[in-house]
Structure 1
Amino acid sequence: MTKLLPQRTVKQDAPALPVLYAKALLPQVGGETLPNTEYVRPDIDVDLAHLAAYDQVCGFRLTDELPATYPHMLIFRLQMALMTEKEFPFPLLGMVHVANRITQHRPLGLGETYTARVWAENLRSHASGRQFDVRGELSVGGRPVWTEVSTYLRRGGDEGPSRSGQLTPPAPTAIWRVSGDIGRRYAEVSGDRNPIHLHALTARLFGFPSAIAHGMWIKARALAAFEGRLPGAYTVDVRFKRPVPLPAKVGFTSWRTDEGWAFELWGTRKPRPHLEGSLRPPHLALDEVVEA
């Protein structure tokens, strides 16, 4: 259903990514509320070469339908523009992407023309800080065909209870070797050049011993494992648990549930979960708040 929000400022398109990354380094005024701003990008035609590059990096077959995670490429620049506004309450650097829910309401065609919208809402408290949602929508002819909720955490407060003891990973149905350059390869197609994903040297500046894989690449790679079993409409919901250090060897597990499918991604060297998720019909996702 199309949202109804009063007196929202609408901005067409967004600045180029290098400009947005430069803005991310500048101090923000901040505040106690999320900006009442909606970014809109109309008349989007999917570039076949870009789609092919994305499919190759993420493990999808190239067809005339878009993978459900691909529209994230079409709204990423709008998200960046929104979260680098001076009035945004948190700096972009240091925010943690903790969850992502995508609903594909019908198959998305390569030859269609889309309009993208992005806005932020649901600023709320969290045991480890504050949490909010960045929502995205793709529409055709005024009707939403794809929606996304990306949940971000700004740390600041108690970390909450930690899991102790030995964790037992499920038996993997597949073992994936994640190459050390996957962060750079995904950055090429996504535009997400956060330094924590590119090189060990730049990742160490932010407290990571090595570069880590993009969360949305992990989600896309997991979704690609279901190709041939996906319905025309579905919701794919994930929680990002721990970063995947690069390079890595990880175990992927999926199993049937009453609602559809569940899946997890674990490290093979240490019993640590990296991702947990589910695939289910769209009507079962409703519009609940995503909690980390």
Structure 2
Amino acid sequence: MTAEPRARVPRRPVHGVLLLDKPVGLSAQAAVSKVKWLLAAEKAGHTGTLDPLASGLLPVCLGAATKFAQVQLEADKAYEAVLRLGVRTTTGDAEGEVIATAPVDAARLTPSRLAELARRFTGVIEQIPPMHSALKKDGKALYEYARAGIEVERAPRRVTIHALTLEPMPDDPAALRLRVRCSKGTYVRTLAEDIGAALGCGAHLTALRRTATGGLTLPQAITLDALEALSPPQRLRCLLPPETLLEGAPRVVLDERDAGRFLSGLRRRGPWPPAELVAVFGDRPRALLGTARCAGGELIPARLLAPTEVSQYLQQAAP
């Protein structure tokens, strides 16, 4: 007997941010597609990829929120990771093939030495991007060259390590737990390899978990299994408003007349101090209109919501 075709779920406008705790083994894009399907949403994206071997915080942007994903792409990130000492791999993580091994002198991994090593890698540092990465060279991702057995020259990139701690794993003398808060563009795999090189034994990542991005943190997140277990109305109630992605930005509130003009792309004048990014709201009803920058007493539109998106979100958020 031929199975009946699965009924197509009609898509609808859904606006907001879902903080997802992505599981290991799933790509960021696959996780976004699952969320999009569970919410029957028309449009979805994320604010910075996580490899399939990594888990943790993945903000999923839906509808109007996709317009502000770039803000979180630029935000600092925080991770927890486990380093396997004494083993180097082709990819810098457990997915690659072993290319070198070395003995590990666990007795030398004292708290004072680990603290000194952490200080050495804190601040502005240079990293050479790994070959197994999505960074592009001449229009091709580096991992495409790596899969073809080609290594290309990569220029060092400056990143900032705001905070870093290294601790021995109680049950494994050849492993370290790493906690890091860093700027965008930091490769934790490369950081692990560089720490291993500094210790003289090499290292690779065996686990990586993102714990924060900007002001968003992992305890706020929901797993895919938990989301799937909810009813459709309950799933919608898990969404945070689009302005969640703009946390920390100054706010400007416009009256009804200026709000309409701002939404049509016109600059507004007012007593606003200079700022590269502000979140702009209408006052009646209070709703996000978009982002702008303030310069010379002018509010200059940047990313704007469509009036239909504003009305759809207000309807979605209504009790």
Q: TM over 0.5, yes or no?
A: no
Which interval holds the TM-score relative to the shorter structure?
A: under 0.3
User: What TM-score does the superposition give when structure 2 sets the normalisation length?
Assistant: 0.22
- Whose radius of gyration is greater, 1 or 2? 2
Q: Provide the TM-score with structure 1 as the length reference.
A: 0.23
